[in-house]
Structure 1
């Protein structure tokens, strides 16, 4: 049996997993991503583990999920906001040269969405749009179990989907974009302004659960803005299934029904709205990266 390796590059950690043909995880490793030391320093730790422990088993290929934006055709990280100093780094070529394996690279949201379409909550659906709401906001369009990358590798980059043009933007993203309205750090930023003290995202939702009126207004605004983004996606793409993932959603699933009702207020075919919660969890990136290798 030939094995597959999935690599999940994140701003905090880099993980890799040895996968079987069904993309079940047989072994995995996680290292802290010391971003400032550069891509070579960090990736070499993962590559050395792969070469020492897994290569002799027979590896069919290595799939890599990385924060975008990417040039997917060349496997180059262009300018990822949480990978400062990694600009224009060809991760595909680097890992390829070090492992002598076939390498496929794609956006981290895309590979997580692919996992949900292949083996997760949207298995069997012909068209799936995956949305992650976490440190950032990202998306992926999967049709017939294939990632739609677009002409310039930017399909699904819903972080810049304009929701409220006069509202806050961040990290060089467009004014009023979805990420600036809905990501975890921006929820915390808004809550800090309202409460007059510094507050982190988890505490925001604890206050929400405890019926803090000021925070309830902010979270309702989050649900409203996210529903605008989803309804726009439905109007343009008309996917069979929408999948919601990311820490903001997965740790606050009471928001799902609110979001669904708000989406139904904004679309024509209310009865066909099918919004599901991602079910694979933290390993979606690893297993989805494995599905890049066919």
Structure 2
């Protein structure tokens, strides 16, 4: 299982500064003064709710793809709220000032409520890089829960976990995300880290769902297609005719990743008949991938 490319990294000082600047841009003078004086105590972390539930990034268009520099890579923050970012900054600042940042975050996580635990998981990306074992304890513990908020913080948009989870733990995380219906789109470096073992597990999961008469999550196809087993490409070709445009798009993406030359003629035939522009774009991209792999 290959290690992913997670974008440019930054020092802890640069990461903390970038996060604080993003928060300050969404606060009034009173909010900034409060944050200057606050610490990472449980009471202050609870009081961070006073900073509001507005989005950290202003503007819908700007949120898509918005990132901040982190010590393990670029951190997607388009879904963050201001009060969530403030807790993350408070915990990261306190941890960075300690001798062992991951120990500090572990203690905050271990004794904290759900909001604090989410902030501690995110803060792993805003302190200096250390041997990851202690930090991984947070990620693995969150992965044992069934709380979407913690599963997302541990796995989705988290460069630390993407870079450091061992292959078997990464596979378990992806599988549990599917079982718990947690979106896997936020798994950073998924295309690079997905291997034949994970693809086979995805196919087994798909077989179980189909046997039970249940819907197969559309996000599964592009992952399983990275290492397709017999019959998978044919199923995706069939899905090019699915009435749901999102299903057709997932099939097109999967066929492009499959590197199977048989898929090209079916994609070519479908493209002029496809009424949805996003699916058309996915088909064109898939054909480019297939041509490049010849």
TM-score by length of 2: 0.28
Judging by fraction of residues, say which structure has more helix: 2
Judging by fraction of residues, say which structure has more strand: 1
Which structure exhibits the higher relative contact order, with contacts defined as CA atoms closer than 8 Å and separated by 6 or more residues?
1
TM-score by length of 1: 0.28
